[in-house]
Amino acid sequence: MDDEITVAKEDDFKECLELCQKGVTMCRIKTGRLLTPRKIYVDDQKWLCYHSAACWKFVPLKFKSVNIGDISEVRKGFSSDNLHKASKIYSFREKVTAEMCMSVILTRRHILHKSVDFATENPSVRDKFVKGLQYLIDKKNQERVYFDEERWLLDNFRKADVNKNGKLSFDEVLKLLKTLNLQISNEYARALYTQSDSFGKSDGQLDENEFINFFSHLTERPDLKHTMRMFSATNDPALSVLDLKTFLSIEQQFDDIDEKKAASIIDYFETPKQSIKILGPIGFRRLLLGKWGSIMKPGHEGVFQDMNHTLSHYYINSSHNTYLTGLQMKGEATVEGYINALKKGVRLLELIAFSNLRSNCTASVDIFDGEEGEPCITHKRTFIREITLKDALKEIDAYAFKTNPYPVILTIENHVSLPQQKAMARIFKEVLSDKIYMRPDNGASQPLPSPNALKNKYLLRGKKLRSDRGPDRKFDQDNDEIIEDNNGSKNTIKLDPEFSQLISLPSVKLSHNIFQDIDEHPMDGSCSLSEGKVTSYMESGYSLAAYTSKRFVKSFPKGLRQDSSNMNPIPSWLCGIQSVAMNMQTTGEYLDLVNGLFRTNGNCGYVLKATKLIDGLDPRMPEVSSAVVTTMLVGVISGQYLPKLSQANDVVDPYVTVEVFGIPADSRKFRTKTIRNNGCMFLS
C-alpha cells in the first residue's frame, strides 16, 4: 500500500518487546541530576510506565503512565534540551555518557514537545529498549490509519458498562457519547435508542450488538452510500474489487489501479478481513480519509515539479524564530523548535546573532556571546532561556536531510563579537563540515544553483564582506557592518573574514529604485522585508515581481507580533517573495495556507512559482490575470469528525466555508447552509 505506514513484523522485535514488557532499571534525569534508579516498562503495549521523583525530597514519589499514542519518538544520546544542558555539567559528565541516555519525546495538546530523559548503565540494553519502544510508536501511528471501528466501540462500551452486566442504560449511552465527543440532542438520541433496543430483545437497555446498531444509525452517511451505489454493479452500498477499480480509475483518476491493487486496498481498509472481498460503508469512509479520497491531484503528493530551476524560482517553506515553541517574551529557546520545523518540511531556519546582552540593541532574535566562549541562542531582553549554537546545529543536522534531500537555508543575523564570530565559524565547520555550500568566485554574477544541484547542502544567509570585483562592490567598504534587525534597530559590529567566507547568500538592501537594484545587486544577493514594507510595496504600485524573479527575498512578521501570531502570506507570494517566515508553533488560517501550499510537491519545502512570476510579471495586472482563466467547481458533500468547540452541552449547528485565496480577481468565499442540531455529520 502506497499510503500505509510501514511497520516491521513483530517477530523481528520479539526480544526487544519482551524487554520492554519486563522492564529495565533506569535513572530519571531532571535538572542535570540522576534520580534514584527505578524500573521503566511498557504495560500491555499501550502504556509507558515509570516513577518520577520531584527535585524536593519531601515530595512523594509519583507513578506515571504515558499512552504510547502520546509519544512522537524516542531518541538516543544527548538529544533533548534537558540532556544538552546536563551534558555541560562536569559532575554529570563524570557519571553519564551519551551512550547511556535516551529521551522519550511527548506530544500532547497545549504542549508542542516535552522530553522525559533516562540513563541506564548498559548501552546495549538501552538500544533494545529504544528499538522495542519505537516499534510500538510506529505501530500506534499505523493504527490511526488502520482503524478497527467496531473493536474501538466495543472497548468503549465495556468501559462504560460500570456494573458489568453487558448492557447500557440510556443515561450510560448519553455519557458515553459525550466521552466520544459526539453531540446530539436528547430527543434524537432517545429515538435512535428506542429503535436500536427493538433490534434485539426490547428491555430498555442496549447490549453490545444493539449498541453497534445504534452507533451505525447515528453515524450513517447516506451521501457515501449514494456514491457507492453509483459505482456498484448490484446498486448496493458495497463495492466489489471490480467496482472499486472503476471508482478509483474513473472518478478519482488514479492511473495505476488494477484488480490486484484494488483487492489489496479492500484488505487494508476493511476489517475484519473477508474471504469475499467487498468494501462496505465503513471501509469506504475510511478509504476516503486517505490519499484515495484526497482533493490533491494524483501524483502531486510526491515531488513532481522540475527541480532544476534556479533557487529564486521557488517558494520555500520558511520559519520565523525557529527556536521558539511558544510566545516571544517567556519560555525557552529549544532544539525542539528546529526539529519540529524540519519534520514539517521547513527548509529555511532562523539563527540570529547578538554581540552581548548589555548593549542597547533591541533586535528580536538572538545568537549572542555565550559565557563559555561559544555563541548561544535566546531571545534578547526577554525571559527566554538559551541553548547553545552547537547544540542547535547538531539537532538541525540530525534531521535536515533525514527524509528530504533538498537544501536548507540558515538565516544568520550577525550581532556577535569578533572572537565569537571566529567560534561561530569553527562550530559551523565542525558540525556541518562539507555540507556547507561555499559561494563560488563568480557567485555575484551567476544565478543561484537549483534545488537538485544543492541537494544535502546548507546555504548560510547573512551579512558578508565585499570583494573588490563586480556587483560585490554593493557591500560595505571595510569590515564595519551596520546591522538592522527585524525591529528596525541598528548596531555597528565588525565582521570576521573567516565567518564571512561561509556566507553564500549575502544580504543586500532595496533602494527606492528596484530596477537599479536589479542591475547592481549581486545575483546571489538576498534582502529581507518586514510585512509592513511588503504592504507598502503592494499599495505603492511598485512591482517586486521583477526583482524576485532574479533575486532571493525573505519577508518576516512585524515586530509588534509578540504573541507569535502569523502574517498573511498571500501578499508576499503575489510579489514573488520566495521565503515567507512563519511562526510554526502558532496554528491558524495563515499557517494553514502555508501548509496547504507546501503539502504539494512531496512536502519537500520547495514549490515552483507561477510562470508569470518567474517571468517577473505582476499577477495583479489585468493583462496578466486575464491571460490564463481556469474554472474550478467545488461541491461540498458532507463533513465528519467535528471537534467539540467548548465544554458546553449545546449541540453545534455546523456549516462549511470554502474560500479561494489569491489575486483580488480570484478571491471568493462561499458558505453552505447551516444544519441545525447535528454534531456528528451534516449534509449541504
DSSP letters of 466-479?
--SSGGGGGS-SSS
Banded pLDDT at 648 (limits 50, 70, 90): low
Check residue 635 and give its pLDDT.
84
Q: Do domains 149-218 and 222-293 have the same CATH topology?
A: yes
CATH 1.10.238.10 fits 222-293, yes or no: yes
Check residue 111 and give its pLDDT.
57
Partners of 428 in the beta sheet? none
Check residue 644 and give its pLDDT.
65
Check residue 452 and give its pLDDT.
99
Banded pLDDT at 331 (limits 50, 70, 90): low
Coil, helix or strand at residue 374 = coil
Check residue 206 and give its pLDDT.
94
Check residue 358 and give its pLDDT.
35
CATH 1.10.10.10 fits 149-218, yes or no: no
CB 400 within 8 A of CB 457: no
Residue partners of 360: CB distance under 8 A and separation at least 6: 491
Banded pLDDT at 244 (limits 50, 70, 90): very high
CB 369 within 8 A of CB 420: yes
Burial environment of residue 626 by CB neighbours within 10 A (0 to 12, 13 to 18, 19 or more): exposed
Partners of 104 in the beta sheet? 74, 116
Q: What is the distance between the alpha carbons of residues 62 and 68, in angstroms, rounded to a whole number?
A: 19
| Mean pLDDT of the residues in the chain | 85
- Backbone dihedral region for residue 181 (phi beyond 0: left; psi -120 to 50: alpha; all else: beta): left
Q: Is the model's pLDDT at 673 over the cut of 60?
A: yes
- Looking at residues 425-431, what average pLDDT do you find? 96
Per the model's pLDDT, the better-predicted residue between 112 and 215 turns out to be 215
pLDDT digits (tens, 9 = 90+) for 506-540: 999 999 889 999 999 999 999 999 999 999 988 88
Residue partners of 204: CB distance under 8 A and separation at least 6: 169, 170, 197
Check residue 493 and give its pLDDT.
65
Residue 614: Cβ within 10 Å count: 19
Grid coordinates representing 302? 510526491
- Looking at residues 651-672, what average pLDDT do you find? 88
Per the model's pLDDT, the better-predicted residue between 181 and 480 turns out to be 181
- Looking at residues 144-160, what average pLDDT do you find? 81
Q: Is the model's pLDDT at 49 over the cut of 70?
A: yes
What CATH superfamily is the domain 630-684? Answer: C2 domain (2.60.40.150)
- Looking at residues 338-353, what average pLDDT do you find? 90
Closest among 296, 292, 241 to 2, alpha carbons compared: 292
User: At residue 190, what are phi and psi to the nearest 5 degrees?
Assistant: -65, -40
Grid coordinates representing 125? 540494553
Q: Is the model's pLDDT at 483 over the cut of 60?
A: no
Q: What is the distance between the alpha carbons of residues 549 and 411, in angstroms, rounded to a whole number?
A: 20
Q: Is the model's pLDDT at 329 over the cut of 70?
A: no
Lowest-confidence pick of 83-97, 156-170, 358-372, 516-530: 358-372
CB 407 within 8 A of CB 451: yes
Per the model's pLDDT, the better-predicted residue between 232 and 648 turns out to be 232
CA 286 to chain centre: 23
Output the CA torsion sign for 222, 224, 230, 234: negative
Per the model's pLDDT, the better-predicted residue between 89 and 12 turns out to be 89
Residue partners of 668: CB distance under 8 A and separation at least 6: 659, 660
Check residue 602 and give its pLDDT.
95
- Looking at residues 161-187, what average pLDDT do you find? 88
Lowest-confidence pick of 3-12, 127-136, 248-257: 3-12
Q: Is the model's pLDDT at 3 over the cut of 50?
A: no
Check residue 365 and give its pLDDT.
37
Check residue 216 and give its pLDDT.
84
CB 587 within 8 A of CB 564: no
Partners of 582 in the beta sheet? 319
- Looking at residues 615-641, what average pLDDT do you find? 83
Instruction: Report the CATH fold assignment for 311-625.
Output: TIM Barrel (3.20.20)
Q: Is the model's pLDDT at 79 over the cut of 90?
A: yes
Helix or strand (DSSP H, E) at 639: strand 638-640
CB 528 within 8 A of CB 555: yes
Residue 52: Cβ within 10 Å count: 13
CATH 1.10.1040.10 fits 10-145, yes or no: no
Instruction: Spell 418-439 as b/e; 16+ CB within 10 A means b.
Output: eebbbbbbebbeebbeeebbeb
Coil, helix or strand at residue 562 = coil
Going from N- to C-terminal start, the domains of the chain cover: 10-145, 149-218, 222-293, 311-625, 630-684
DSSP string, 312-377: GGEEEEEESSTT-SS-SSSSB--HHHHHHHHHTT--EEEEE--S-TTSS---S--EE--TTSS-EE
Q: What is the distance between the alpha carbons of residues 349 and 531, in angstroms, rounded to a whole number?
A: 18
CB 409 within 8 A of CB 348: yes
Check residue 145 and give its pLDDT.
64
The DSSP bridge pattern shows strands 376-377 and 278-279 to be: unpaired
Per the model's pLDDT, the better-predicted residue between 594 and 416 turns out to be 594
